[in-house]
Structure 1
Amino acid sequence: MAERIVIDPVTRIEGHLRIEAEMHNGVIQDAFSSGTAIRGLELIVQNRDPRDVWAYVQRICGVCTSTHALAAIRSVEDALDIKVPRNAHLIRDLMNAAVMLHDHVVHFYHLHAFDWVDVLNALQADPKQTSTIAQSISNWPKSSPGYFKEVQQKVKNIVDSGQLGIFANGYWGHKEYKLPPEVNLLAVAHYLEALDWQKEIVKVQTIFGGKNPHPHYVVGGMATPLDINSDNGIHAERLSHVSQLIDEAMVFVNEVYIPDVMAIGSFYKDWTYGGGLNNYLSYGDFSTGDIRDVNLYRMPRGVILNGDLSNVMDVNPKDPDQVKEFIDHSWYTYDGQASGGKHPWEGETNLNYTGPKGSYSTLNTADKYSWIKSPRWKEQSMETGPLARMIIGYAAKKPEYIESVDSALSKLGLPFAALQSALGRTLARALEAGLVSKWMRDDMDSLIQNIRNGDQVTFNNSKWDPSTWPAQSKGVGWIEAPRGALGHWIRIEDGKTKNYQAVVPTTWNASPRDHKNQIGAYEAALKGTPIADPENPLEILRIVHSFDPCLACAVHLTDLHNDQMTEIRIG
């Protein structure tokens, strides 16, 4: 007889996610992913000035705020055919890269590492052996026995106090933890160091965008005054500070983050679960030229189906036959109907909750069971994110992707197929951070050279006046967010936002069944996974966390206590 495991909420993620898994003979046979809250920002921006939409929609999420802002900006520029100055493009990419590096590091150390690392076991470590291991895998200076002894004492003081604080939630002592105490201590030390590092890299956004989170953008470029001789603009000293932050980020990624993932991964080489769909999607990003020229993307665009690396198919977010969102198992209606699929330009956000009321009973997964819609590419379920991007880049024969992946797998002694797992997804994110940090260095050098050549333009105001706009237009802004392919679709009529839809990475990955009963990426990744202890399902968290879920982005506010829908007043 099947046993159902329910985790609600899944912690150490952004937002609210419920996972129900059906287990038989200790192995997950089926799984269901449910977003348990709604957002509704698509409704809030209707009838507003399109030039202001970015400021609203970046509040979709408290983590990747600027990625939503940039996608929104790009959608309006696409609709109005606005080309931004080269400096603005470089600044935007630098800010986007800073978010990606910040997100990847924070995700690994503070949201996901404890699925692999047993914190309390670090108390049994020999600091001298930890120091030896640390010095064998990188040149990071903080690697002395005394340093690791200090970290170990900090953890001991927390444990002895009986108040575990940041280490309170974990399945410590679980049989699926494989690391020796010394590697656990190494990871805990770098967990604490990453807390300090992450607050530095976001200063790139503060300098160029005025603040973090929620930095400033503007349709047509950036409101960033470049003047190396002015005390009020972005002058030489501030540019030097950004350059220093980039150099420090490259060191931390390559001397701490990547070596840690490799070291931890070497003890979990046989943990090959969590692969899932083997269908991958990327919109591409980080162009070396005009953002509209996808051939210049360093992060390539494409789709791979069924793991076939010999065929990277094209993606067109504007094609109504390619990208559609289905609602057959989601709490929405389209044109009053409970099922069907729509391209985002025609999309609707009509709430129609039909789930459990009052009690927290098991979901009726035969019907609607999530606030997340089911986006599909040519009616196929897709995974998006760092793993998708690394595999697509590899299949597209991008040299730096091939070199990065082959080198890592060779050191671990693993075949390419091992990437298609929770461990591989975690490794892909670290390898991608290495690539992005290099691109960040290149873009900063290009920006400084432009300024030295006398180019200080960051804004194109040629179409700022709405009287110059067409009566009707539509556009899409795509971006590769830390968690994957992000698209914002806008329709503009008479100078106002007529319709707006955002399809975010976690909507793709955490989607419920669709009209063909096809499962989403989370659901597929969980199937076939053995569970050692159903009362402490560490394996489920390990797989789900490997995607870095952002439910605040994916779902659309409901009152679970009073069984009432929250009323949103518009205007």
Structure 2
Amino acid sequence: MTARVIVDPVTRIEGHLRIEAKMNGGVIEQAYSSGTSVRGLETIVLGRDPRDVWALVQRICGVCTLVHGIAGVRAVEDALNWEIPPNAELIRNLMIGTQYVHDHVMHFYHLHALDWVDVVSALQADPKATSELAQSISAHAKSSPGYFADVQKKLKGFVESGQLGIFANAYWGHPGYQLPPEANLMATAHYLEALAWQRDVAELHAIFGGKNPHPNLCVGGMPCAISLDSGKQAGTALDVVGLERVRNVLAQMHEFVHQVYVPDTMAIASYYKDWFRQGEGLGNFMTYGDFPAKGYGDRESYMIPGGVILNRDLSHIEPVDLDAEEEIQEFVARAWYAYRAGKDVGLHPYQGETKFAYTGPQPPYKELDVDNQYSWLKTPRWNGKPMEVGPLARVLMLYATGDARTTELVDWTLKQLDLPLEALYSTMGRTAARTLETALIVDQLQGWYDNLVANIKAGDVKTFNEALWDPTTWPKEARGVGRLEAPRGALGHWIVIEDGRVANYQAVVPTTWNAGPRDAQDQQGAYEAALAGHALAVPEQPLEILRTVHSFDPCIACAVHLTDPNGEEVLELKVQ
């Protein structure tokens, strides 16, 4: 028996994703990933002042605002060889690192946890036993029987009213759920805690960037002035009060990650060890590198190194050159786009085109035309090979290059769970890697903060380099790439500048790498490869598909493009 299981839309993600699984009996034989919504900010920035680009491309996504903005800023700075002050680099590292911690915690509890946690089962839990479980794995303050009893009472009110709200429409009671009721109650309580916690964490972006989401940035540094006198410039500059608030936010992040997030991941993973044996996918991993210690151009100083791992071989790292036109290319053989040179060619982002060519059936449609075009996502390749990007790729890269703290965390985790290194190449391995990466980043944040404070105490308050602000000093033609390791993976913004204006712009985002459709050689993307071989216990409730797709943390809003049904531009923006 062969049939298709269709999940559309895949929920608890950013944007609109459709997964079609071709079944052979109860097992997925082939999977197909389709981005079904569209955007087009690359075309909107054409002809504009490059210094304004970050504010527009930041709107690619309402969640990934900071990383797209910084990628846009870095692209211009790279094109013009525009160096920024050390304080600006430290502030950017602090903001990006905070984005990691915020994003990963939110993903685990609010987008991914319900794939493993049966919230309704928590009603059967014994609050006293839940308290004992929580205290056995962590020193977190909120772990008393009374606390868990109150959470259970609140949850019971949701269920009895028939208004589950954020917990509605899940596959409660599915045989794939394996946590005991007490673990479910503990995780549900932490789900609710994380909702309140994230509000305070988001404040750090507002302190440095004026607001969140869409914090303020600028080409040449950061727009937040530093004041040595909090009394005279309070509210208009970063002063001792703001720095103290940053320190407090960092402490809150550190406590929650190490006392709640890491223990919860370990506890949940111990009940789902079978998921360390499925969901690998490609076996190819790529990072661009990020968190510079000595400036964007000194890639040897990056905390996260760039490179490619092929076929799980951690003994050899291939370098990545984002300027090499034969290395990074995007294809459209199975996407609803067209290139002037034909659909089977690949284009480096410097030559990239965003020309819409929808040839599929009008939605709603029964099935994707998977033999032709079936997605609004393009298909990026590194030297013709598909890549997985994201937390697992970064943890593997750090482990392969001998980073001491990463090696310690990975080896400790595998020992606790009695698993081999190969277990990381899996759905649960991807989830665990995200948690370990969060622990690495949250520990590093304090060092960046200390360095910033030391600079200020030494009298260095510079956050902006105005040297190249005058466009008449720019070369007639320039091009550059803004590389960044976004929480979801390798992010690149490529810009071509001619006569002081944007002549071409292309963003290749993490979810494009992971969720893109097949190429002309029928090579699968990371989602598609990871889903193959999954057995569905209840095809009408494809929990297994959600687990693996969510382990990548999809952001389809970042990955697709914008058009109307006739392929025409739908919005024109004018700057007065």
| Alpha-carbon contact 2:563-2:570 (below 8 Å) kept | no
Percent of aligned positions that are identical: 56
Offset of residue 62 of structure 1 = 0.5
Instruction: Give the Cα–Cα distance (whole angstroms) in 1 for the partners of residues 477 and 562 of structure 2.
Output: 31
Match of 2:244 in 1: 240
Q: What's the secondary structure of 2:485's corresponding residue? A: strand
Alignment match, 2:218: 218
**1:336 shift after superposition:** 5.9
Question: What residue in structure 2 maps to residue 310 of structure 1?
Answer: 315
Corresponding residue for 1:205?
205
Give the Cα–Cα distance (whole angstroms) in 1 for the partners of residues 364 and 258 of structure 2: 49
The equivalent residue for 1:124 is 124
Distance in 2 between residues matched to 1:358 and 1:297, nearest whole Å? 45
| Corresponding residue of 1:455 | 460
Q: Distance in 1 between matches of 2:571 and 2:398?
A: 44
CA deviation after TM superposition for structure 1 residue 237, in Å: 1.0
Task: Report what 1:567 is aligned to.
Answer: 569
What amino acid is aligned across from residue 518 of structure 1 in structure 2? Q
How far the C-alpha of 1:358 sits from its partner, in A, is 5.1
Per the TM alignment, residue 412 of structure 1 is displaced from its structure 2 partner at its CA by: 1.0
TM-score normalised by L of structure 1: 0.98
Distance across 1 between alignment mates of 2:11 and 2:566: 25
| Alignment partner, residue 98 of structure 2 | 98
Greater displacement, 408-417 / 333-342: 333-342
Task: Give the gaps of 5 or more residues in structure 1.
Answer: none
Which amino acid counterpart does residue 7 of structure 1 have in structure 2?
Answer: V
Q: How does 1:241-390 map to 2 (within 5 A)?
A: 241-271=245-275, 272-335=277-340, 337-357=342-362, 359-390=364-395
- Give, in whole Å, the separation in 2 of the partners of 1:531 and 1:227: 59
Deviation, structure 1 residue 418: 0.8
Q: What amino acid does structure 1 have at the position aligned with 2:318?
A: M
- 1:409-428 aligned at under 5 Å gives the runs 409-428=414-433
The 2-side partners of 1:403 and 1:313 are apart by 24
SS in 2 for 1:448: helix
Matched, 1:404 2:414: no
Residue by residue over 1:478-501, the C-alpha shift from the partner in whole angstroms, topping out at 9 and shown as x without a partner, is 000000000000000000000000
Checking the alignment, whether the CA contact within 8 Å between 2:337 and 2:356 is kept in structure 1 is yes
Which residue does 1:394 correspond to in 2?
A: 399
**Shift, 1:202, TM fit:** 1.0
SS at 1:486 equivalent: strand
Where 2:66 maps in the other structure, the secondary structure is helix
- Offset of residue 555 of structure 1: 0.6
Q: CA RMSD in A?
A: 1.0
In structure 1, the residue matched to 2:50 is 50
**Distance across 1 between alignment mates of 2:71 and 2:549:** 25
Matched residues in 2 for 1:317 and 1:407: separation? 34
Q: How does 1:460-475 map to 2 (within 5 A)?
A: 460-475=465-480
List aligned pairs for 1:74-93, cutoff 5 A: 74-93=74-93
TM-score scaled by structure 2?
0.97
What are structure 2's unaligned runs of at least 5 residues? none
Partner in structure 1 of residue 60 of structure 2: 60
Give the secondary-structure state (helix, strand or coil) at the position aligned to 2:413: helix
Structure 1's consecutive aligned runs of 4 or more residues displaced over 2 angstroms after TM superposition are 336-339, 563-571
Residue 6 of structure 2 corresponds to which residue in structure 1?
6
Verify: 1:538 aligned to 2:543, yes or no.
yes
How far apart are 1:566 and its partner, in Å? 5.8
Which amino acid in the other structure matches residue 238 of structure 1? G
Q: Secondary structure of the equivalent of 2:303? A: strand
Residue type of the alignment partner of 1:282: T
1:302-353 C-alpha deviation (Å, 9 max, x unpaired): 1001101111111111111110001110111111623311000000000000
The aligned residue for residue 140 of structure 2 is 140
1:235 maps to amino acid = D
Question: Does 2:490 match 1:488?
Answer: no
Matched AA of 2:536: I
Deviation for aligned residue 1:26: 1.0
Return the alpha-carbon distance in structure 2 between the equivalents of residues 168 and 564 of structure 1.
Answer: 37
Higher alpha-carbon deviation: 136-145 or 350-359:
350-359
- Give the SS at the match of 2:273: coil
Does the CA-based 8 Å contact 2:357-2:567 persist in structure 1?
no
What secondary structure does 1:298 align onto? coil
SS in 2 for 1:34: strand
